Amino acid sequence: MPIQVLSATLAAQIAAGEVVERPVSVVKELIENSLDAGAESIIVDVEGGLCASIKVIDDGCGIPQDELDLALQHHATSKLSLLNELDNIATLGFRGEALPSISSVSKVTITSRHSDSISGHRINYDFGSKVSESAVGTSIGTAVLVARLFENVPARLKFLRSNSAELSRVKDLMQQYAMGYPAVKFQLRSDSKTLFSTTGSGNILDPVIAIYGSRTAPDMIRISQDETDQAYRVEGFVSVPALNRANRSYMTLFVNGRLVSSRTMTHAVEEAYHGLLPERRYPISVLNLVLPYSDVDVNAHPTKREIRFLNENLAYTSLQKAVRKSLIDQVPVSTVGRTTFTGRSSGGIYPYPTDRTGSGSYSQMDFVQGRTDLFSTQAPNRELLTALHVIGQVRSTYIIADGPDGFYVIDQHAAHERVLFDGIVEGLEHRYLDPQILLAPVTVNLSPLHVETLHNHKELLSKYGFDVQEFDSGAYLLRSVPSMMSVGDPSKSLVDVLDMISVEGLLRRHEEIVAASVACHSAVRAGRVLRLEEMNSLVQKLEATTNPHTCPHGRPTLVRYADYQTEREFGRR
């Protein structure tokens, strides 16, 4: 086939495929246009299925009559005029491609009235061609009706999922924008039935309650930063570690108010929770990274969802440090009956309780506008630990302590793990970890996977005190172990360390994996009776650790039984 210039219609449909992949793409582009127009209310109304009719109504500034036709022309935009402005984009939409791309694969009707006009105007396009234009009476704002989507591109239709599945994508998108723009009222309707709505009160917890339920609000932590003139700032909130999910879909990320998909930001949030959550568990988060517009390239992808940072390291560390600091400073003690720990093991080595169920239903009565006390305000563990009075031990496993607002149960093994872990990390930094030479070398039989792990990390293991030498095919001599590690079964300790590296090596730093495993094998075990002075000493040492909330594997070190719970059980309230 000879080289030829594509027809305008075919070229428009191909270009539209980059912007309009499915119905949710249409909704995304129109919502972003509404937000750029300063809308305080955005309604998405679906009739007879997403491909049949999608209508997006806003109360923004509107489009002037003489620009309405121009808005549907390719490369026409009010948000960009000069080449150098590409380096400083402050709006969500700027390509001038959304409306013409949508109109090339659907029937589009735009009704708009500009804030300076006394009447509105309406324009109709059928699959890229203008049909009619007329004056109409309407309120200030814009309504875009998209009908018969992809009717002229049947190949696109066959790749769409069911209407309920596509509608679910739209709902998820609107929920994310609602959490990022709490001052905007969002509403999704389908065949006259309201599927989702927010009040637009401006309180950042309002959409959270609408989406995740009223019980979730107390488990949210507002990100707090020092009031300094930082070029990179973080806004939003994250869930306490006790409230976690099995996938990343609950992590909503914005950059300068733009909803984005960023591996850099996702990994930064996960790293902030390192040691607070079990592996493969993820928090609920809504975060907005605010940075100079010139430091981010939003023109890296046709859908504008993927971005590039000018200084990726600075973006990563700013987000990670802000979230980590807020977690360490504000995470409350897990309270039995309200904020219980959830999680699951990563490989079956450490048992965790099972996951809890949903967050409950939403009622507008559950939320009072302006209430900031719904955020977690429980004092951090470090402050609580100073006020605890150790009473004794239960089942030779848990330390019981009286506190100012209830009594506390401390897992002696998890608490000692945290104390030892911090000591190991500090000792490694100052190079004073000495090996414990065994009286007689211990023979350890290793599997091929263990052998490979050992050879790849032999130098690292040696730094911690493991001296392992090859003896025979598959057999090795263990001559020394870390100084603080129990020598009851040194071969099992080595195998467990190698297991941990092979299982979690892609998710955590190897140095921390070894330190956590050594601490686990060195900590006091469940079933060991402790003297009162030993229990007091352990609580005091836990107070001085970098993170007294959890052990190195993410399990809680202590839980609280609040006074009101005890009083309620005994009929005192």
CB 252 within 8 A of CB 291: no
Range of the domain at 70: 8-197
- Residue whose entry in the numeric block shows the structure tokens 């997403």: 50
Residue that terminates a domain, selected from 335, 363, 389: 335
Residues 312 and 460 in one domain: no
* CA 6/CA 20 separation, integer angstroms: 20
Give SS3 for 268. Answer: helix
The answer for residues whose C-beta is within 8 angstroms of residue 361's C-beta and 6 or more apart is 213
The answer for residues whose C-beta is within 8 angstroms of residue 496's C-beta and 6 or more apart is 349, 517, 520, 521
Type of residue at 370? G
Residues 209 and 186 in one domain: no
Structure confidence at residue 517 (pLDDT): 83
Two structure tokens written together for 405: 């607002």
Q: Radius of gyration (Cα) for the chain, nearest Å?
A: 29
Residues 180 and 292 in one domain: no
Buried b or exposed e, range 115-127, using 16+ CB within 10 angstroms? eebeebbbbbbbb
Residues 503 and 383 in one domain: yes
> Per DSSP, what are the bridge partners of residue 467?
480
Nearest to 488 by CA among 452, 463, 524, 513: 524
Structure confidence at residue 227 (pLDDT): 54
Residues 38 and 76 in one domain: yes
In a domain, 350, yes or no: no
In a domain, 56, yes or no: yes
The answer for residues whose C-beta is within 8 angstroms of residue 278's C-beta and 6 or more apart is 343, 344, 345, 346, 350, 352, 553, 554, 555
Residues 389 and 489 in one domain: yes
Q: How many domains does the chain have?
A: 3
Residue that terminates a domain, selected from 283, 307, 335: 335
Residues 422 and 525 in one domain: yes
Structure confidence at residue 354 (pLDDT): 28
Residues 385 and 306 in one domain: no
Residue that terminates a domain, selected from 281, 308, 335: 335
Strand pairing category for 129-136 and 120-126: antiparallel
Q: What CATH code is carried by the domain that includes residue 489?
A: 3.30.1540.20
CB 72 within 8 A of CB 278: no
Q: What CATH code is carried by the domain that includes residue 146?
A: 3.30.565.10
Residues 277 and 392 in one domain: no
In a domain, 366, yes or no: no
CB 556 within 8 A of CB 350: no
Q: What CATH code is carried by the domain that includes residue 302?
A: 3.30.230.10
In a domain, 345, yes or no: no
Residues 245 and 137 in one domain: no
* CA 389/CA 483 separation, integer angstroms: 32
Two structure tokens written together for 474: 């598959």
The number of residues making up the chain comes to 573
Residues 57 and 84 in one domain: yes
Nearest to 243 by CA among 266, 223, 219: 219
* CA 207/CA 213 separation, integer angstroms: 9
Q: CA torsion angle for 210, 211, 212, 216 (degrees, to 10)?
A: -40
Mean pLDDT by 10 residues, the chain (573 residues): 61 56 92 94 93 95 90 70 56 73 92 94 93 94 95 86 92 95 96 93 89 84 71 91 88 93 92 80 93 84 75 90 85 62 31 30 30 42 75 94 89 93 82 80 89 89 89 86 78 86 63 84 89 93 85 83 84 79
Residues 531 and 466 in one domain: yes
Helix (H) or strand (E) holding 335: strand 334-335
